[in-house]
Amino acid sequence: MMSTSRKVASKKDLTEGGMLRVEPDGKPIVLAMVEGKIYAIDATCTHKSGPLDQGKLEGYKLTCPWHHAVFDVRNGTVSDKTVWATNLNSYPVQVDESTGDLSISLQRTQQAEATLQPKRTEAKKEEHSAEALENEKKFYEEEERNASDKLSLQLLHKEKLEGTDIITFKLTKGNLDFAAGQFAYFKLEGVTGDPKGPIRHFSIASSPTEQDYILISTRIRDTPYKQKLASLSDGTKITTWGPQGEFVLQEDKPGIFLSGGIGVTPFRSMIKYATDKKLPTKIVMFDSNRNRGNMLYKDEFDSWAKANPNIKIIYTVSDEEGDSSGWNGERGIIDKKMLSKYLSNEQISESTYYICGPPGMLKAMQSVLKDQLQISEDKIRTEEFTGY
């Protein structure tokens, strides 16, 4: 059997308590030296793909610089206090003592599952959840302090998707310059009592080619922020800054979009952009929802797919009982069988995969791609929607 071990660096490249990012075969991995021993884990956070090599290493604990998820560099396990992230892969490191060469085996040694983590009492879950909320609030405050490009955008119109808790907001665009798929921050005045504070970030659902406005769509929950957002009147000013995010369309490679519910928002931006720019990029989107009523932007997607021969969209509903008549599309969750039904072997092996949806959906899709279809991690991009 061919060895999967790759030489990636020299031991002299690392110092005690230091880190180094390497990319064997295009896979981003961070090396960390603690008490003279070198460890290797995935270099991108499982929450929002934050660059862990730019994080803070204290002992064996590595903290993501973006949303402050904490991981153990010895095995990639996420702290049970940062419940918004999931575990990383870890990799064995070999040290050639004669030369100092460091090699990594790309056969991961751990991909810990949530079921392996110790069970916690409800009281501890609440305690950890409160700490997680406070950490996110601190993150938003830090992002606001560092923002140098704040804009005051005006709400033009809001529209509720009938029968759901989803509202789409249309705002003036101002000078917001963004790439298809990126997100921005939105601060509301008059938000009180929200544990995360008055700031959230949302994917920009509109395309950069839509010159006069931007769109954001979100589910309205019972949080003070979401309730305030839903109550805004046309003409209200909203402080906005950004954009940020690496979940953007690669124009030179075919793309497979895997969407779960409200996670379809960045895909609207990408598909509209590709259609308006007449890009040759071939895109297949699998759009999964509970039922037909929750399908966001469906009429627009259908019209763009009709106008753009490079776009193909497969809709699937998971709530069969609630959608038992008149539906001719797919049913059930996106799985290997469904992907293989619509994708050729060449598409499966050569495409870049974009996954956007709730945490459970992301985890399931990554398992299908990595474990069942043998898709390398460097071909998978994720964006998590937590439904806050």
Domain holding 185: CATH number? 2.40.30.10
Does residue 372 share a domain with residue 301? yes
161 & 200 share domain: yes
**Quick one: 232 and 261 in the same domain?**
no
363 and 303 part of one domain: yes
Domain boundary among 219, 244, 269: 244
Q: Is the pLDDT of residue 121 over 80?
A: no
Q: What is the mean pLDDT of residues 365-378?
A: 91
Q: Does 261 lie in the same domain as 329?
A: yes
Q: Provide the pLDDT for residue 4.
A: 65
The pLDDT tens digits of the residues spanning 150-167 come to 999 999 999 999 989 999
Residue 118 lies in a domain: no
Condensed to tens digits (0 to 9), the pLDDT of residues 271-329 reads 999 999 999 999 999 999 988 889 999 999 999 999 999 999 999 998 755 544 678 88
Q: Tell how far CA 104 is from the center of its chain.
A: 27
| Structural domain ending residue among the three candidates 211, 244, 277 | 244
pLDDT at residue 108, as a whole number = 56
Query: Does residue 231 sit in the same domain as residue 161?
Result: yes
Q: Is there a single domain that holds both residue 192 and residue 275? A: no
pLDDT by residue (tens digit) across 221-240?
Answer: 999 999 999 999 999 999 99
CA distance 171 to 155: 4
As a whole number, the mean pLDDT across the chain is 88
Please check whether residue 365 lies inside any domain of the structure: yes
Closest CA to 376 of 84, 21, 23: 23
Question: What mean pLDDT comes out for the span 339-343?
Answer: 97
Same-domain check for residues 59 and 90: yes
- Count of domains for the chain: 3
**98-113 pLDDT, tens digit each:** 899 999 987 655 544 4
Q: Are residues 239 and 172 in the same domain?
A: yes
Residue 126 lies in a domain: no
C-alpha distance from residue 183 to each of 40, 92, 143, 205, 353 (Å): 30, 35, 13, 9, 19
Does 279 map to a domain? yes
pLDDT at position 63 over 50: yes
- The answer to whether residue 285 is domain-embedded is yes
Cα dist from 385 to 40, 70, 142, 202, 366, whole Å: 28, 19, 21, 9, 15
Q: What percent of the chain has pLDDT over 70?
A: 90
Q: 368 lies in a domain?
A: yes
CA distance 56 to 60: 10
**Same-domain status, 103 and 12:** yes
CATH of the domain at 73: 2.102.10.10
**pLDDT given for residue 321 in this prediction:** 53
Residue 131 pLDDT > 90, yes or no?
A: no
Residue 82: which domain range?
Answer: 5-111
User: Are 307 and 344 found together in one domain?
Assistant: yes
Domain boundary among 192, 224, 244: 244
* Residue 137 in domain: no
Does the residue 131 lie in any domain? no
Residue 115's pLDDT is what? 36
Q: Are residues 213 and 319 in the same domain?
A: no
